[in-house]
Structure 1
Amino acid sequence: MNPSSPLEKAFVLHTRPYRETSLLMDFFTQHKGRMTLLAKGIKRSKQLALLAQPFIPLMIAWRGKGELPVVNTIEVGASPIRLEAMSLWCGLYLNELLVRVLSHQDVHEDIFSLYENTLLSLAQDRSYRDSKNTFLQQVILRLFEQQLLEKMGYALPLTQAFNTHHPIQPNQYYRYISHQGFLAVDHSESESPNVFQGKYLSAIACHQYHSIEVLRAAKKLMRLALAPLLGDRPLKSREVFL
């Protein structure tokens, strides 16, 4: 019999049924990255089935090294992170995003910490639960997206234009070109969907999401920057709220 792995801190990102009583579970683990594991018979136990929910810090172990290792330990590692209303949708967006952009067993301990801290920030955001006031939630998401890109090696070059090598200027307009950066353009192109005013790029570079205008520019920019990683299939959670 294959030996069991050491216990590993993990969160459930996604599950799907496997036969009558089992689940295929996408985990984000602290030291092994994203893993898909088979949880045999987990639906037979109500107590264990409850642990197949997202946003619960878990300790898991598994056996097997093939295409589908089997979970043999799953237990609560800490108190569940309680997300409600719009914060819940934000958390589901984070999970779907990670499933789409992280390769299996590509280790990113810093992204794991970023993810956990972002969930905690969403849980603490108790004054922005209703859909009419989601400013802080949107700030949390934009910061996550920006730092996710940085930690994956796709940091946005927000300090200078690649065609002039001059620093970004507040009143200049810049076209974002994927994998290249920002191209200085004429003011007449300011309404193009991938053109941004320099003052907003500078604010995003400093994580200064202090206004609706900066937040709107950041949302547009992060969608453009993440598009090559996501491909043509849209994110379902983004269609609902984001």
Structure 2
Amino acid sequence: MRIEQQPAWVLHLRPWRESSALVELFTRDHGRVGAVVRGIRGPRQQALRAALQPLVPVHVDYLARGEMARLIQAEAMGLGLPLRGDALMAAFYVNELVLRLAPRGDPATPLFLRYGVVLSELAEGQPLAWVLRRFERDLLAELGVGLDWSMDARGMPLDAAARYRVDPEDGPVRDAGHRSGSVSGAALLSLAGEHCPPLEQLRELRPALRALLVAQLGGRPLKSWDMLGRLQRPKIAAPGADSQTGEG
């Protein structure tokens, strides 16, 4: 089956054999698609090579057959987003999340649209840590393993003053002992209510969401986590303060 003029993003491109490449696409109507690009390193394929760059929106034509499609054409739909420094590294982290967790051939139009939004938020300089936590939350929801961030594992409303540990299967479980790794109810409620929390609560959300992602990754951590651990601390806008720092 031939697919034409399909909106897509390039997640990954790597050389294959003498003159070809393997590309992972994230398409609007067909989800993640792996494809072979033949002759991409030839002198007449400069425009194709330029189009197949991560973080650049494209329209693609390809032949869908078996596990790997054959890419016929790709056309860049404008310039790439102006991502620099920490925002660029965060965008590659988002790429790796989709590459590892979005199943091939599974239509995921809401996630495709959300992916474009998160790249725009990073390009606009929005608070990096808050942008990533919300995308992680939404990615898990689209994969069918998201949580209700306003309720605990027993179906009771979260207590903003309490502490919880986040179980990948059951959700927030109250932690009366306030053990290391627990997260405040207020931080979880901020994720449910779409409002950026104060710095300390924002930091608590990072390990909570990472635990859920680890459960989906089959024991294989993301390469980007090491990279993000080395990020300089960007400015984080938070209620009650002009700016605060946080971690991606």
| TM-score with structure 1 setting the length | 0.88
Kindly provide the amino acid, as one letter, of the partner of residue 77 in structure 2.
G
Q: Determine the structure 1 residue equivalent to 2:107.
A: 107
Letter in 2 for 1:149: L
Match of 2:10 in 1: 12
- Counterparts of 1:1-242 in structure 2, within 5 Å, are 4-44=2-42, 45-125=45-125, 136-163=127-154, 165-186=155-176, 189-193=177-181, 195-241=182-228, 242=248
Quote the Cα distance in structure 2 between the aligned partners of 1:191 and 1:183: 12
Unpaired runs of at least 5, structure 1? 129-135
Structure 1 residue 29, shift from structure 2 partner: 0.3
Task: Give 3-state SS (helix, strand or coil) of 2:24's partner.
Answer: strand
**Alpha carbons of 1:204 and 1:5: their partners in 2 closer, same or farther (altered >3 Å)?**
closer
Cα deviations by residue, 1:59-88 (Å, 9 ceiling, x for unpaired): 101124122221111111233222111111
Cα deviation for residue 49 of structure 1 reads 1.3
Instruction: Report the identity percentage.
Output: 28
- Within 2, Cα distance between the matches of 1:147 and 1:140? 11
- 1:190 touches 1:197 (CA, 8 Å); kept in 2? no
- SS of match in other structure, 1:42: coil
Q: Which moved more, 1:59-68 or 1:34-43?
A: 59-68
Runs ≥4 residues deviating over 4 A? none
Aligned mates of 1:142, 1:162 — CA distance in 2: 20
Structure 1 pair 203–67 and aligned structure 2 pair: CA distance change class (3 A) = closer
Measured in 2, the distance between the counterparts of 1:167 and 1:123 equals 35
Q: Which amino acid aligns with 1:7?
A: Q
Once the two structures are superposed, what CA deviation does each residue of 1:69-113 show, in whole Å capped at 9, x if it has no partner?
211111112332221111110110011010110110111100000
Contact 1:87 1:123 in 2 (8 A): yes
| Bigger shift: residues 93-102 or 165-174 | 165-174
Cα 1:204–1:4, aligned 2, differ >3 Å: closer, same or farther? closer
Number of positions where the alignment pairs a residue of Structure 1 with one of Structure 2: 227
The code of the aligned residue for 1:205 comes to A
C-alpha distance in 1, partners of 2:132/2:165?
A: 23
RMSD of the alignment, in Å?
1.6
**Consecutive unaligned residues in structure 2, runs of 5 or more:** 229-247
1:200 aligns to what SS in structure 2? Answer: helix
After superposition, what is the alpha-carbon deviation per residue over 1:9-44, rounded to whole angstroms, capped at 9, x for unaligned?
011001121111111000000000000000101121
Cα shift at 1:208? 1.8
Equivalent-residue separation in structure 2 for 1:64 and 1:32 (angstroms): 10
Distance 1:123 1:185 in 2: 38
